[in-house]
Amino acid sequence: MEELIPANCPEINDLVNTKLKARFDYDKSYMHGEAWNTLKPHFYPTDSLDLDAKQMGITQVSLVKGNALIALEYHYDGWSLKIKLDKIYSSSEKYTIHIKYTAKPNEAKLPAGEKGLYFINPKENRKICPHRFGLTEKQTILQSGAPPLISQTRKRPKKSS
């Protein structure tokens, strides 16, 4: 059973640009990724960032300052990545967050058809089909395996009572 969080969540940050780097571990069906997200506050100043990061391993969250990476405090609950920025940013200021993560789509506890990343023949069992990966054609609501991103519609399983 799923709970839909309304789409009228306030826009706090705008995504300006994303740069991605990915390395695939076909034996484990993992994608080791790095994302550089450049953002700016939508309207009001903010000192935090909330990203969807469904069912992945987060290994590093940093602020990019010139050529340096400054570690940031963050909380990750397996669904949402809440980042505390180094200062309060105004709507005219851009900042870049660097995130290292590992997507494990075959280990994610998600409903069928809701993965954002698929591994096709990862161990090359079938010689006529070399190992490949696939991203879904359109963004799924749960988006497991995709880079951490801003989303206004979020779904998560309801907790059992």
Q: Rounded distance, CA 161 to CA 142, Å? A: 22
- Fill in the amino acid letter for 106: N
Q: Chain centroid to CA 12: how far? A: 17
d(CA 92, CA 45): 9
145 — pLDDT class (breaks 50, 70, 90): low
Q: Where are the domains of the chain?
A: 2-156
Residue 12, pLDDT > 50, answer yes
Q: What is the mean pLDDT of residues 46-67?
A: 91
Q: Which positions ≥6 away from 125 have C-beta within 8 Å?
A: none
Among the CATH numbers 2.60.120.10, 2.60.40.1730, 2.60.34.10, 2.60.40.420, which is that of 2-156? 2.60.40.1730
Q: How far apart are CA 98 and CA 36, in angstroms?
A: 5
Is residue 52 over pLDDT 70? yes
pTM over 0.95: no
